[in-house]
Amino acid sequence: MNLAFLSATDLGRALAQGEFTSEALVSELLGRIQTYNPKLNAFVEVYGEPALLAARESDRRRSRNQTRGPLDGIPFAAKDLFDVEGHPTLAGSKALAATAAAQSATAVRRLLAEGMVLLGKTHTVEFAYGSWGTNPSCGTPINPRDPLVQRVPGGSSSGSGVAVAAGLVPVALGTDTGGSVRSPSALCGVIGMKTSLGLIGRGGVQPLALVFDAVGPMTRSVEDAALIQAALQGEDPDDPSTFGVPRSNSLVDLDKGISGLTLRYPSMESLKSAEPGVLERFKETLADLEAMGAVLDEVPLPRPLEAYATLTANITTVEAWNRYQHLVEKEPSLVDPEIATRMSRGKTMSIADYLGYLEQRRVMQTEFHRYFAGANAILLPSSPITAKPMEGVHTTNAPFGLFTRLANLMDLASLSIPMGDAEGLPTAVQIMVRRFADPMAYRIARALEVQRGGLFTPPRGYEQPHRAVAQNALYAGFP
């Protein structure tokens, strides 16, 4: 049995049936991290002994019939924007003081309360401000999808995408300001959700632009992502965006199918910047959804994708500059020069500019609401390109935001799922739904996952178990 690529849902079922222990599972994944992380650079920190202790505690609860739920004993990782008690949050930067967090982020605490086991923290683009996934300051994770060429992982939740794809952990937390969950999910071939703002608290998460920042799960199955989102939701005393927001059951109607749903997509002309292989997989996905009973509806967007992407970037830049100006202008500055250059655009933007951007957003949201009328979801490729070779990309403009920022600007939820490879590299489709309609995105994705017999495939070279887990280790029972 290869524990590394079982879904969190299947792992939970197997644990419940006594097929192996959480300690055996955690030991296996820690062994994989020890072997592969020097090559992949997914993790900033690995919590080996604490993770094993937490796994043993989970096994003891199970032996006493005190299991906390289906996630008890399942490992996860968190992007290095999430506070973890007793550990510094460096946000991929050398410019922040390495001060230990007094308590863990709300999202981390929620998963720990479910009995999940935190294996460590994953790399991020510095201050989450970039979508190639590169980080010259603290190290760039390597996309596991190409055994011969070092390729970008996508960002900014780069380490989380790599760790999930390579079978180092079944679940990881990311954040999404303009595509930072969806871009690495697309390039690494995993599932990633930009959740509705207000459903999941951001307390204890290093911000980039609070007007857009959203916490989301990265997994290898749709059911896993829905299950994790259900565990994360709820009011957060440290995040006013969650106040008064009712929980939405992301598992409701998960297997109801899509017959009769209206799925809208923009004109192919507006997607012309996408690579031919991406467009081909997108058209195949549309055809599959239509064959499954959905009503496909091609309607041109109210504005070019560039308009939404540019406005999102401007608002993000103002907020990022306001938050990190003191670190960029400090002498000597420890912020990566390219990140500093991107942020410094905010120096030229006044409060009047910012208020103007917000007014433009209001107008765009109003017209987009009319565009969405009569549809259950909007479909769009997650990325216009597949993962590119690492060399030289850090200082070049990344194209991912052209397709992803729309969801953040319009306050939509957006789920990225694999839609097949192009020339051996993953492509992905976004399922964008209205704010708080997250369960609809999962329902549509799940239908495609079932129809295709799964969406995730392990990357070449990582399929085999790290080591032969001894039979007595798997079936030893509980301590």
Which residues neighbour 240 within 8 Å (Cβ) at sequence distance 6 or greater?
A: none
Query: For residue 137, what is the enclosing H or E element?
Result: none
Which residues neighbour 426 within 8 Å (Cβ) at sequence distance 6 or greater?
A: 145, 186, 187, 188, 189, 386, 387, 418
248 is catalytic: no
| Of 7, 27, 58, 79, catalytic | 79
Query: For residue 26, what is the enclosing H or E element?
Result: helix 22-40
Q: Left if phi > 0, otherwise alpha if psi is -120 to 50, otherwise beta: which for 6?
A: beta
79 is catalytic: yes
Q: Give φ, ψ of 353 to 5 degrees.
A: -60, -45
156 is catalytic: yes
Would you say 427 and 418 are in contact if contact means Cβ atoms under 8 Å apart? yes
| Of 22, 131, 180, 414, catalytic | 180
How remote is the C-alpha of 52 from its chain's centroid? Answer: 25
Which residues neighbour 436 within 8 Å (Cβ) at sequence distance 6 or greater?
A: 196, 198, 199, 245, 248, 413
Q: Is 72 exposed, middle or buried (0-12, 13-18, 19+ CB in 10 A)?
A: buried
Q: Concatenated DSSP letters for 199-210?
A: TB--TTB--S-T
Give the position of tokens 């109607």.
253
Distance, in Å, from the CA atom of 419 to the CA atom of 282, rounded to the nearest integer, reads 7
Distance, in Å, from the CA atom of 443 to the CA atom of 273, rounded to the nearest integer, reads 29
| Of 156, 183, 382, 383, catalytic | 156
Spell out a b/e string for 16-50, using b for 16 or more CB atoms within 10 Å of the CB, else e: eeeebbbbbbbbbbbebbeebbeebbbbbbbbeee
Helix (H, G, I), strand (E, B) or coil at 79: strand
Q: Is 370 exposed, middle or buried (0-12, 13-18, 19+ CB in 10 A)?
A: exposed
Active site residues: 79, 156, 180
